[in-house]
């Protein structure tokens, strides 16, 4: 439940003016407003599962988005039942939306790529919880390789617009009629950034796969290690479990979220301490915290 001192788990990823939102717990739209990210750029809402703390914020979010002019289509990803949940609420509450909503529900045998657009793809898979819960991995498409000016000069390509076109991946024609393709002047494609979002789960194969070599992993860190039994019974992880997953999966960095409401801010130091025994680059997430994910250096 949302507490006065801690909101529910929800992660917004902003990339080039688009927002991809993972989970919408109760009151989610209030914090989204506080972030000033805006609601119009919301393009995808990926819901992990149909427990209230992850989806009761959906109707408020959809209503808020209907208050802006021409917000554009929205895709909702989620477990079986997410469409019925949203459409049922729309019918009963009779709220109007001024944009189209397309749904994609996870099912056994469905492709691992849940969504794709011009900048990212989102992968998904079933985690290990008390009900079907999905983990997500957002991958930015690879970027073109680094432009090599000396190669361009060797090929007598005049600097200026032609360089720009090559950098953007277009073949150009030189004054002498010769064609130059981007691969003649660009290095190998550079990998895009990757994020994993996986809460309400215990470690399983899918979790490791979704977390593999990500730049940033948002993981369930609901309990302290001393409450392992409870974590197991409720289908959650301790910070110790989560840090171990991040470390073994080769994540560059991990942020642990979805802390049990029983713990207060004073306990956070113990959380960090326990997690860092397993993985150095881990921290506890806080409401409204933001992270900038740099591109990795390509040697």
**CB-count exposure of residue 14 (10 Å: 0-12, 13-18, 19+):** middle
48's CB contacts (< 8 A; 6+ apart) are 22, 23, 54, 78, 79, 127, 133, 134, 135, 136, 197, 198, 199, 200
The nearest distance, CB 8 to Zn ion, in angstroms, is: 8
The reply on whether position 200 binds Zn ion by CB under 5 A is: yes
Part in contact with Zn ion (CB under 5 A); list of ranges 43-51, 59-67, 94-102, 177-185: 43-51
Q: Which is nearer to Zn ion, 14 or 51 (CB)?
A: 51
Number of residues that bind Zn ion (CB under 5 A): 3
x/- map, 82-121, Zn ion, by CB under 5 A: ----------------------------------------
Q: Site for Zn ion (CB under 5 A): which residue of 26, 53, 139, 140? A: 53
Pick the closer one to Zn ion by CB: 46 or 185. Answer: 46
Annotation marks residue 53 as catalytic: yes
Asked if 51 touches Zn ion (CB under 5 A), the answer is yes
Minimum CB distance to Zn ion smaller for 184 or for 204: 204
Min dist. Cβ of residue 49 to Zn ion (A): 6
Binding segment toward Zn ion, per CB under 5 A, in 51-59, 209-217, 249-257, 281-289 = 51-59
The residues of the shown chain that bind Zn ion, judged by CB under 5 A, are 51, 53, 200
Which residues are known catalytic residues?
A: 53
């Amino acid at each position: 439940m949302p507490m006065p001192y801690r909101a529910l788990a929800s992660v917004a990823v902003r990339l080039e003016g688009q927002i991809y939102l993972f989970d919408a717990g109760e009151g989610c739209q209030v914090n989204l407003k506080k972030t000033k990210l805006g609601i119009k750029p919301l393009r995808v809402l990926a819901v992990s599962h149909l427990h209230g703390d992850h989806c009761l914020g959906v109707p408020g979010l959809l209503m808020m988005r209907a208050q802006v002019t021409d917000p554009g289509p929205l895709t909702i990803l989620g477990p079986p039942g997410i469409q019925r949940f949203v459409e049922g609420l729309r019918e009963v509450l009779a709220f109007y939306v001024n944009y189209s909503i397309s749904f994609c529900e996870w099912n056994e045998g469905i492709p691992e790529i849940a969504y794709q657009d011009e900048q990212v793809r989102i992968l998904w898979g079933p985690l290990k919880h008390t009900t079907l819960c999905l983990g997500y991995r957002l991958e930015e498409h690879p970027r073109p390789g680094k432009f090599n000016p000396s190669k361009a000069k060797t090929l007598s390509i005049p600097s200026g617009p032609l360089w720009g076109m090559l950098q953007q991946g277009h073949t150009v024609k030189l004054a002498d009629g010769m064609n130059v393709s981007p691969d003649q002047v660009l290095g190998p494609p550079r990998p895009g950034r990757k994020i994993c979002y996986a809460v309400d789960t215990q470690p399983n194969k899918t979790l490791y796969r979704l977390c593999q070599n990500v730049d940033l992993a948002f993981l369930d860190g609901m309990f302290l290690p001393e409450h392992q039994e409870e974590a197991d019974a409720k289908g959650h992880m301790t910070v110790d479990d989560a840090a171990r997953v991040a470390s073994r999966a080769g994540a560059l960095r991990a942020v642990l979220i979805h802390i049990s409401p029983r713990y207060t801010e004073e306990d956070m130091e113990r959380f960090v301490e326990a997690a860092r025994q397993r993985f150095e680059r881990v921290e506890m997430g806080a409401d409204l915290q933001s992270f900038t994910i740099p591109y990795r250096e390509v040697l």
